[in-house]
Every structure is written in C-alpha cells, then in structure tokens.
Amino acid sequence: MLREPPVPQGLRYLRRAARVFSTVAVALPAAAAEGLAVAVASGGDRGRRRFHRRMTGLLMRLGPAFVKVGQVLGTRRDMLSPALCDELSRLQDDVAPLDEARSERLLREVYGEEMPELFRRIDFRPVAGGSIACVYRADSESRGAVALKVLRPGVPEVMERDLWLMRRGAALAARLPLLAGMPVVQVVGQVADAVLGQLDFPREAEALQRLRGNLSAVRRVSAPRVYEELCRPHCVAMEFVPGLDTETPRRCSPVLRRGFAEAGLTAVYRMLFVDGFVHCDLHRGNLYFTEAGQVVLLDAGFSVQLSDRLRRLFAEFFMNMAVGRGTRCAEIVIESSTGLGPDADLEGFTVLMADLVHRSHGLSAEEFSLVAFATEMFDLQRRHGVHAAAELVFPLLSLLVVEGTIRELHPGIDFQETAKPMLNKGLFSA
C-alpha cells in the first residue's frame, strides 16, 4: 500500500485552523443560546455558569493544548471573572495513558541501546500521566528506585501548532472594539509561553534541582533528587518517592496535620519572599504529605523566576497587608503593573484597595481568606484599568491553590502571621 505524501506544514496548520474554527463556530452560538435560556428561566448567575461550563467543555474537545491554556488562564483572576476561573480550574487532562507496548517503544527510543545497562527493570505501566507526559517506575543499577517522567510522542508538534493558532487568534480578537485597551495579545502570549515551558524537560530538571536546594532550608519539606546521568532531552529521571497518597493526611493525627500545614505554607512563603523561584502548580497532584511527617513537592514544569525587584515588591505588599497599610499596598500594585487601561482610575483604585486591606486586617485567622482577598483585589484592578504583571499573578497562584489544602489540615492557621518570618528574611536579610 502506498503511503500518502507528507502534508506541507502550512497546509497542516490551515487544516487545523479550519477544524478549530468550525468547532468554535458551531459550539459558541449554541453555548450562548443555552446560557441565555437558563438566565431567563433561572437568573443571570446560573446562565453565566452554564455558558462557562459549555466553554470549558469546548476546550476539552479542542485538545490538550487548549486544555493546558485553559488551566493556566484559570489563574488569571485579574483578567477573567471569578466564575469563569472557577470553571477553568476544573479542567482535567482527559487523555488515556499509553499502553505497555507503546510505553516500551517510547522508552527504548529515549534510552536506545543503553537501557539494559542503565536499568535492571522498568515497569511499562505508567504510575501517573497526563496530556504532556507519563511517569514510570524503574530500578537503576546505580540509583535504586527511579521515577522516569517521559514526554509523550508527538506532543511538542501538536502543542506548538495549536499555540501558534491561539496567538494568531488573539491578534485578531484584540482588534475587536469589545476588547479595546485589554492586553489580549500579551496575556495569551504569556499563557502560551507558560504551556510551552512545560515541554522543556531539561529546564524542568534544573527547576526541580533548584527547588530541592532552596527548600532544604525548610524543615520537613523536600523535592525529589534529580539524577542527571539518567536524564535525557525528553525524560526527567528523579528519585522515586514511595507511599505518596492524597489520602495520607486523613490517617494522621491532628498534631501531624497542623505540622503539614505550617511546613507547606512556610515552603510557599520561602519561594515567594526569599528565593523568588516559585512552583506555580501546587495542586493536590503535586503536593503530598507522608506518614513520616514530610511535605513533598513534585513536577516543577510550571515554575517562575521573579526578578529581585518584583520579589521585593511582592514581599512588601504582604508585609504592608499584614500591618494594615492599605494605601501602600495600592501603590505597590500600581507600581508592579504592566500598564494601565485607557480609562484607568488610579485614585478610585487606591481608595478601594486601601479599604480592602483595612477590612481584611481586622479579620481573625479563621475569617481571613486569601482567595476572597485576591478575588476582590483582581476585580478592583479590572474595573479601574490596572493590569497585573503575569510574573506576580502566576506565583500568587501557588498561594491561592494551596489555601484550601492548608485550611483542611489546620483550619485555624494564621496566613499573615505565618508569613512574617519569611517576610523579614526576604526584606531585611543581607
């Protein structure tokens, strides 16, 4: 049987663009009509929720690149409504794991003839996986139990093509009057770069090593050791940490659970205020607690390096928030912004931002919510035309994502008081 000739790259992109456009052209009006019908019957909030749910379903149909972009966009509460961000945060990689035969072929491509010399045994059944990579357990001659995170075949080409289409779509959308003054191209570009960064496995291996070194200063917190001699361009080889289970805290004593919460929160504050190198994806699949009392961080593919200026501004904001200096907090938000909208109202923003800080400062530890605070702050920024820097929004996500986990472990923990030692270290240490 004759094979079809290879399709030129431009034609492949054109075909993909046509499929995406046709899918969106059918789904978007249907979702809008359904949302409007629900709004008329049951109220505007329910109508919007239905529309947002249909939009997240559309992203899942369009493929893994759109899912990844949706997940990252769900963090941009400074740009999108809280209801839409809540829906986007529920996006999951609905991708079947590779079977054993395909996994074996993939790993043999990664390691070639060296594989029998490097590993006594590899279990070709993935122990974890998603749209970008699968993770396997292996036994190394030199390192013992090893976790191999391997890039799925064909993923870079698919991701790069779809992200290129999204950038082009953003450039067209930015011309619409409805989006005038909004940094659409910039935000989509930042999100696309964040997704592409998760395909750079040598970068991820370096990030994991940096996190492990930085967090060694925090008691009972660690990241897996990276085995450089076993890493390859499409594979990160690291220490296999046994016994990781999201249900472990439920089996532990209240004292140990409080210790988990304090250590985990201190680790996040260390990243934010002292090191400036932040793991931005600390959902429950990347943050584990062991029965030995350890906190383990996995998967450093989505990490951000703050400039020293932004790190200090971030720390100053939290320090001033902790002592109730609302006007200074507003000034820091403006100073760290990437720009202002055409109708920016800095005076109005400053007054309302100061009021938010004063109200939050008067709350007890149990009443204060970082998510509620950030949601109101981002709403103020949107309404007053103050565009937040992605370099600050993405790291802030690490705090917002872990808040629910930390509260479950230790409902009475004081987020502002726990921050002070690391704030002092970040601001005043030489």
pLDDT tens sequence across 294-324:
999 998 888 888 888 888 988 999 899 888 9
CB of 272 within 8 A of CB of 398? yes
Mean pLDDT of the chain: 85
Which of the pair, 418 or 393, is modelled with greater confidence?
418
Dist CA 270 CA 267 (whole Å): 5
Range 34-70 burial, b when 16+ CB lie within 10 A, else e: ebeebbeeeeeeebbbbbbbbbbebbeebbbbbbbbb
Domain layout of the chain by residue ranges: 9-88
Dist CA 288 CA 249 (whole Å): 9
pLDDT tens sequence across 187-237:
778 778 888 888 999 999 999 999 999 999 999 999 999 999 999 999 999
Average pLDDT over residues 364-389: 84
CA 58 to chain centre: 20
Dist CA 218 CA 212 (whole Å): 10
Least confident of 181-195, 281-295, 340-354: 181-195
Question: Which of 90-94, 113-117, 131-135 has the highest mean predicted lDDT (pLDDT)?
Answer: 113-117
CB of 338 within 8 A of CB of 389? yes
User: Does pLDDT of 7 surpass 80?
Assistant: no
pLDDT tens sequence across 20-40:
888 888 888 888 888 888 888
Dist CA 390 CA 190 (whole Å): 7
- Joined together, the tokens standing for residue 399 give 């705090």
Dist CA 33 CA 266 (whole Å): 47
pTM: 0.81
Model confidence band, residue 5 (pLDDT cutoffs 50, 70, 90): very low
Model confidence band, residue 181 (pLDDT cutoffs 50, 70, 90): low
Closest by CA position to 285, among listed 270, 297, 295, 269: 297
Q: pLDDT at position 339, please?
A: 76
Dist CA 392 CA 390 (whole Å): 5
CB atoms within 10 A of CB 266: 21
Amino acid at 82: P
CB atoms within 10 A of CB 140: 19
What residues does 339 pair with on adjacent strands? Answer: 387
- Joined together, the tokens standing for residue 28 give 């978007």
User: Does pLDDT of 278 surpass 60?
Assistant: yes
Q: Are strands 133-140 and 386-387 parallel, antiparallel or unpaired?
A: unpaired
User: Does pLDDT of 1 surpass 50?
Assistant: no
Q: What percent of the chain has pLDDT over 90?
A: 35
CB atoms within 10 A of CB 396: 22
DSSP class of residue 80? S
Average pLDDT over residues 76-100: 73
Q: pLDDT at position 230, please?
A: 96
Dist CA 131 CA 357 (whole Å): 40
Give the torsion sign (CA, 252, 256, 258, 260): negative
Q: What percent of the chain has pLDDT over 70?
A: 92
CB of 143 within 8 A of CB of 131? no
pLDDT tens sequence across 124-150:
999 988 788 999 999 998 899 999 999
User: Does pLDDT of 269 surpass 60?
Assistant: yes
Average pLDDT over residues 319-332: 91
CB of 340 within 8 A of CB of 391? no
Range 285-322 burial, b when 16+ CB lie within 10 A, else e: ebbbbbeeebbbbbbbbbbbebeeebbbbbbbbbbbbb
pLDDT tens sequence across 45-87:
888 888 888 888 888 888 878 887 787 777 666 567 777 777 7
Closest by CA position to 392, among listed 400, 383, 402: 400
User: Does pLDDT of 351 surpass 90?
Assistant: yes
Q: What SS3 class is residue 238?
A: strand
pLDDT tens sequence across 151-173:
999 888 888 888 888 888 878 87
Q: pLDDT at position 2, please?
A: 43
For residue 417, CA distances in Å to 117, 323, 357, 377 come to 52, 10, 15, 20
Q: What SS3 class is residue 297?
A: strand
Q: pLDDT at position 146, please?
A: 96
Q: What SS3 class is residue 185?
A: helix
- Crossing angle (nearest 10°) for helices 346-361 and 370-384: 170
Least confident of 61-75, 243-257, 329-343: 61-75
- Joined together, the tokens standing for residue 151 give 């890039």
